[in-house]
Amino acid sequence: MLKLAWKGVLAHKLRLGLTAIAIVLGVAFVSGTLVFTDTLDRAFSSLFDEINATVDLYVRGETEFSNEVVPIPAEILDDVKEVPGIGNAAGTVQGFAQFIDAAGDPVGGQAPTFGFSWVPGAEDLSVLTIKEGRPPAASDEVMVDAGTAAMNDFTIGQEVDVILVTGTERFEIVGFAGFGEEDNILGATIAIFDEPTAFRVFDSPGEYASISAVGDGSVALETLVDRVNDILPDGFEAVTAETQGEDDQAEFQEAIGFLNTALLVFAGIAVLVGGFIIYNTFSIIIAQRMKEMALLRAVGATNRQVTRMVVVEAVLVGLVASAIGVVAGVGLTWLIRSGFDAAGVGFPQGPLTIRPNTVIVGMIVGLAVTLFSAVIPARQAARIPPVAAISEATVGGPRSLRVRAIAASVLTIIGALVLFLGLFVAGSNVLQLVGLGAVIVFFGIAGLSPLIARRTARIIGAPLPAMYGVTGTLARENSVRRPRRTAATASALMIGVAVVSVVAILASSIKQSITEQITQNFGTVDFQIQSSAFADPSLVGVSPAVSEELATLPEVAVVSPMRFGLWKNEDDSERQLISVDPATLESVFVAEVQAGQVADLATGGVMLQADTAEDLEVGIGDTVTMQFPLTGTEQVPVVATFTGEGLSAYLIGNESFSERFSQKLDFMVFVNLADGVAQDQGRAAVEAVLEPYPNVELSNQAEFIENQKAQIDILLTVINALLLLAILIALLGIANTLALSIFERKRELGLLRAVGMTRRQVRRMIRWEAVITALYGALLGLVLGIALGWAVVSALSDEGLSFGFPYQLLITYVIAAAIGGVVASVWPSFRGARTNVLEAISYE
C-alpha cells in the first residue's frame, strides 16, 4: 500500500504540488517567525553576556515596570565605591536624545532614541565601546553610535543638532561608539555625552540610571553583593551581573514575545486557510480516482486499506511540503534581515538561530494540518463500493444534507456562543475566546455553505447570461456544479476576507470615535502638538522646553501639556493614565465635571471617568489602589469625576506624575490662542517656537483628526500586509480547484471547442467561473466579517467605540477578491483553452 500511495503521489504531482504550496507557505510563515524571534533573542542574550562579562554587579532601583528606570542618587555611587571589596564602580546617566540630520529631519523615532553618559576611566564597566574618534570630554561634544553615523553620513568634527528634554542644542561629533561588536541595535540611535552634560541635558541632575561595579577579587561575588545591599537605602538593590543579564533578557523576551504571538496568529490564519485547500484537493482527487479506488476494492483491498493509502499519501505530501516550508521559513528570515540591513536598521549579524523546536513545530504544524484535512476525503474514499469500478453510476453521492445542516448549525451556534462569552461575559482570556469562537464559526459556516452555494452563486452569476450568452450561462452553471467543492474553495477565501473586514470595521470604528471625541471634547482647542512619529508613547514626545517657551508668547493664552503613563491596578494588570495640568485642563478638555474639583488634582489625587468610578464603586473621598513605577503602590484619593471621552479614564496632575514616572517628555501639548489673535498669525508664532523641534508636529483640530486617522491607516496597512498571505493561499486554492475541475471536464471542453467555441470564449467561461467562486467566498467573508466586527465593536462600546462602517473599503475588498479570482483563473483557463479536442472526444 505504501508503494501504491507513493505512486498516487507521483501520478498527481502537479495537483498535489499546488496543495503543497499552501502548506509550504503556511509552514514557512510559522517557522520564519520562530527563526526571526529566536535569532533576535539569541543575539541579544549574547550581547548581554558580552556586556556583563566585565561587570560583577549592578545597583538598580526596584520597580515592577519594565520600561521605567528608577533614578539613583549620585551619593549612592560614592557609598558603593566605599564598600570593602569593590574595585571600581561607575554610574550611567540615561535620557532622551534625538539627532537632527542635515536635511533638518529627526533621526529615528520609530526605534528608541537614547542618550547616555560616558564615564572616563571605567570603559570596562560600560555597555559602550569606542569604534572611532574619542569620547566626549566637553559640554558641547557628543559621540554617536556607528550605525546611526553611517546611515546619516555623520563625520567626526561635524556639528549636529540634538533634541533634548531641555531643548535643542548643537554639539560637535567627536567619536563613534558601538555595543560590543555591533554598530547599532535594531535601529536605536544613541547619543553619548560627558557626565556633567548628561546630568544637565537629560534633566536628571545627580541621578544615575544604573551603577555597575567590579570587585577587587578579595571576596566572593555573593558576599560583595550582600555587602552592597547592606548599605543601600530602601527601594534600591544590588544584583549580580548574571541576574541583571537574565532580567534584561526576560524583559526583551517579553517584548519580543508579543511580536512572536502576533506573527504566529497571522501564520495560524494562513495555515487554517491552507487546511481548507488541502481538504478540497484531496476530495477532488479522490472523486477523480473513484474508478481506481473501486478497482482496488474489487481486487480485494479492504476499505481500511484504501483509507490508509489516502492517509499515507497525505503524510508524504505533508512531510515533503513541511520540510520545504521550514527551509523556506529560514530563507524568509534571511530575506527580512537583508531588508533590515538595507534599511540601515541594525539587525544582529551572525548566523540565524534555528532551534530544533522550530523544525519540530514547523513539521508538526504542516503534517497535522495535512493529515487533519485529508481525514474526511480518506473516509470518502473508503466508502466507494467495488461496483463503482464497472458501473457508470455516480456512487458515494452526497450524504444527507440534513445531517450536515444540523451539524454545521450546531457548530456555528457553539462558535457564536464562545464569541459572545469572550466579548461580553469573560473578563480574561478575551482574545483567546474570541479567536476560538471565530475559528469554530468559520468551520460552521464552511459546513453550511454548500447548502446555499448553489442558490447564491446563481444569483451572483445572474447577469452573466445576458452579458456573454451561453458562455456566461456555462460559467454560472459550472460554478455551482459541485456545491461542496465551490463551498470549500470559497471558504478559504471567506476566512481571509472575514478577518480583513473585521480589521477594517474596527479601524473605521476607531477613526469615527476619534473624530467624535475630538470634536466633542476638544472643540475649544486651537492647536495640538504631538510627536510626529507613531511610536510607543514611552519613547517619544514633546520636550517640556516647548511648553515653557510657548507660555511666554503673547499670542498664546493657554498651554496645557499632558503626559502618558502606564500603572498597575490591584490585579497587577497594566492600565493607562494621562497626567494633566489642573489649572488649564478645563479650557482644553470639554468634559462635564460630575463631582469634586479639578484643581484638587494638584494634591496628588486622581480624577475618574464617571463610568469607571461606578464600576469601581468609588466616589469623591474614596481611594483607588494604584501602583506607579517610581513610588510603588499608593492609595490615591479620588478628587473628581467627569463624563466625556478622549482622554484616559484616569487623570492625575502633572506634578505628581513627575514623582511617579520617569518619563520626562510631554505626550501632547494643547494650545489656545489669546483673544483677538488670528489663526494664521498664532500659528506662525507657535511654529517659530517649534522650529528647532522637527520631531513634533503642530496641528489644528481638522489636521489632528486627519493625523490620528492616518495612524490608524498605517496600522491597518501593516495588518493587511500580514493577512495577505492567507488571501494568496486562498486564491491559490481557487486556481487549484479550477485546474482540477478543468481536468475533469476535458471532454466537455473538447466538445465545446468542436462545436465552435473559440479559445477566448473558453478562457472567458473559466475566468467567470473563478470570479463567481471568489465573489461567493468574498461575500460570505464580508457578511461574517461585518457580523464579527459589529460584535467586537459592541463589546467595546463601553470604551467609547461606536460602529463605523467602511463601506467603500469593503466594496474595494470584494472587487479585489473578484480580480483575485481572475488572476487565479489565468493558468487554468489557459490550460482549458488548450484542451485537445480529439483527445477529449475520443471514446474510451
Partner 1 sequence: MTAGMSTASTLQTAARVRDGVKVYGTGHAAVTALAGLSVDFQRGEFTAIMGPSGSGKSTLLHCVAGLDELTSGSVFIGETELGLLKDRDLTLLRREKVGFIFQAFNLIPTLSAAENITLPLDIAGRKPDDAWYRTVVDTVGLGDRLTHRPTELSGGQQQRVAAARALVSRPEIIFADEPSGNLDSTSAGELLGFMEQAVKDLGQTIVMVTHDPVAASYADRIVFLADGEVVGELRDPTQDSVLDKMKQLGG
CB-nearer residue toward partner 1: 370 or 478: 478
Closer to partner 1 by Cβ: residue 676 or 843 = 843
**Rounded CA gap, 709 and 579, in Å?**
23
d(CA 293, CA 291): 5
Which member of 296, 382, 757, 774 binds partner 1 (CB under 8 A)? 757
Residue 172 DSSP one-character state: E
Helix (H, G, I), strand (E, B) or coil at 631: coil
Q: Cα separation of 651 and 598, whole Å? A: 10
Judged by beta carbon, residue 478 or residue 579, the one nearer partner 1 is 478
Instruction: Kindly tell me which of 299 and 838 has the beta carbon lying closer to partner 1.
Output: 838
Residue number with CB closer to partner 1 (131 or 759)? 759
Q: How many CA atoms lie within 13 A of 26 on its CB side?
A: 34
User: CB 791 → partner 1: shortest distance, Å?
Assistant: 39
Question: In the complex, what is the shortest distance from the CB of residue 748 to partner 1, in angstroms, rounded to a whole number?
Answer: 6
Q: Is residue 767 near partner 1 by the rule CB under 8 A?
A: no
Q: Which residue has the cell 468559520?
A: 442
Q: Least distance in Å: CB of 838 to partner 1?
A: 6
Q: How far is the CB of 738 from partner 1 (least distance, A)?
A: 16
Name residue 641's amino acid.
Answer: T
Indicate which single residue of 751, 816, 823, 826 sits in contact with partner 1 (rule: CB under 8 A).
751
Cell (9 digits) for 690 = 517649534
b vs e for 646-668, b when ≥16 Cβ sit within 10 Å of the residue's Cβ? bbbbbbbbbebbeebbbbbbbbb
| Grid cell locating 481 | 456544479
The helix-helix angle for 241-288 and 483-521 (nearest 10°) equals 140
DSSP 783-820: HHHHHHHHHHHHHTGGGT------HHHHHHHHHHHHHH
Q: Does 761 bind partner 1 (CB under 8 A)?
A: yes
Query: Is 174:156 a contact under the CB 8 Å cutoff?
Result: yes
120: nearest Cα among 146, 141, 148, 99: 141
**Shortest CB 842 distance to partner 1, Å:** 8
Least spacing, CB of residue 751 vs partner 1, in Å: 7
Q: CA 376 to CA 538: how far, in whole Å?
A: 51
Query: Considering the complex, what minimum distance in angstroms separates the CB of residue 315 from partner 1?
Result: 36
Q: Taking the complex as a whole, how short is the minimal distance between the CB of residue 841 and partner 1, in angstroms?
A: 5
Run of H or E residues at 497: helix 483-521
How near is the Cβ of 452 to partner 1 at its closest, in Å? 19
> Which residues fall within 8 angstroms of residue 108, CB to CB, at 6 or more apart?
98, 99, 148, 187, 188, 189
203, 595, 759, 830: residue in contact with partner 1 (rule CB under 8 A):
759
List the one residue from 54, 139, 758, 797 that touches partner 1 (CB under 8 A). Answer: 758
Q: Where are the alpha helices (DSSP H) in 289-355?
A: 290-298, 303-342
Q: Minimum Å distance from CB 283 to partner 1?
A: 20
Does 841 engage in binding with partner 1 (CB under 8 A)? yes
The SS3 assignment for 318 reads helix
Output 473 or 720, the one with its CB closest to partner 1. Answer: 473
User: Which CB atom, from 176 or from 768, has the smaller least distance to partner 1?
Assistant: 768
Of residues 675 and 844, the one with the C-beta less far from partner 1: 844
- Say which DSSP state 397 is in: -
Name the segment binding partner 1 (CB under 8 A); options: 23-31, 35-43, 320-328, 751-759.
751-759
Residue of 784, 792, 740, 787 whose CA lies nearest to 766: 740
Please report whether residue 603 would count as binding partner 1 according to CB under 8 A. no
Cβ contacts of residue 753 below 8 Å, gap of 6+?
Answer: 759, 762, 835, 837, 840
Q: How far is the CB of 843 from partner 1 (least distance, A)?
A: 5
Distances in Å between the alpha carbon of 788 and those of 269, 282, 511, 713, 723? 16, 30, 18, 20, 17
Q: Nearer Cβ to partner 1, position 351 or 756?
A: 756
Number of residues that bind partner 1 (CB under 8 A): 25
Least distance in Å: CB of 764 to partner 1? 11
For residues 442-481, which are near partner 1 according to CB under 8 A? 469-471, 473-474, 477-478, 481
Under rule CB under 8 A, residue 572 binds partner 1? no
Least CB distance from residue 498 to partner 1, whole Å? 30
Nearer to partner 1, 157 or 756 (CB): 756
CA–CA separation, 343 vs 417, rounded Å? 46
State how far the Cα of 31 lies from the Cα of 263, in Å rounded to an integer.
11
Closest distance to partner 1 from the beta carbon of 461 (Å)? 12
Residue 752 in the binding site for partner 1 (CB under 8 A): yes
Copy the grid coordinates of residue 473.
Answer: 450561462
Determine whether 157 is exposed, middle or buried from the number of CB atoms within 10 Å of its CB (0-12, 13-18, 19+).
Answer: exposed
Contact flags string 481-520 toward partner 1, x per CB under 8 A: x---------------------------------------
Q: Which is nearer to partner 1, 528 or 825 (CB)?
A: 825
Segment interacting with partner 1 (CB under 8 A) among 185-193, 326-334, 490-498, 757-765? 757-765
Quickly tell me which residue has 500659528 as its cell. Answer: 683
Q: Which is nearer to partner 1, 388 or 716 (CB)?
A: 388
- Distance in angstroms (rounded) separating the CA atoms of residues 183 and 145: 6
403 vs 838, which CB is nearer to partner 1? 838
In the bound state with partner 1, the residue whose beta carbon lies nearer, of 63 and 471, is 471
Q: What is the CA radius of gyration of the chain?
A: 33
Q: Cβ closer to partner 1: 250 or 470?
A: 470
Q: How far is the CB of 469 from partner 1 (least distance, A)?
A: 5
CA dist 620 and 641 (Å) reads: 8
Span 394-423, contacts to partner 1 by CB under 8 A:
none
Instruction: Compute the distance between CA of residue 336 and CA of residue 93 in angstroms, rounded to an integer.
Output: 34
Closest residue by Cα to residue 370 from 427, 300, 321, 301: 321
Q: Which residue has the cell 488572476?
A: 823
Q: Which is nearer to partner 1, 197 or 825 (CB)?
A: 825
- Smallest gap from Cβ 12 to partner 1, in A, equals 24
Question: Counting contacts by CB under 8 A, is residue 843 touching partner 1?
Answer: yes
Helix (H), strand (E) at residue 453: helix 430-460
CB of 473 to partner 1, least distance (A): 7
Q: State the binding string over 243-272 for partner 1 (x if CB under 8 A, else -).
A: ------------------------------
Query: For residues 60 and 753, which CB has a smaller minimum distance to partner 1 in the complex?
Result: 753
Contacts of 615 (CB under 8 A, 6+ apart): none
CA distance 360 to 451: 39
Stretch that binds partner 1, among 438-446, 538-546, 598-606, 833-841 (CB under 8 A): 833-841
837 near partner 1 (CB under 8 A): yes
Per CB under 8 A, does 675 bind partner 1?
no
Pick from 15, 753, 763, 764 the residue near partner 1 by CB under 8 A.
Answer: 753
CA dihedral sign, ordered 120, 123, 126, 127: positive
How near is the Cβ of 832 to partner 1 at its closest, in Å? 14
- Nearer to partner 1 by C-beta: 81 or 747? 747
Q: Which residues between 721 and 750 bind partner 1 (CB under 8 A)?
A: 747-748
Residues that bind partner 1 (CB under 8 A): 469-471, 473-474, 477-478, 481, 747-748, 751-761, 837-838, 841, 843
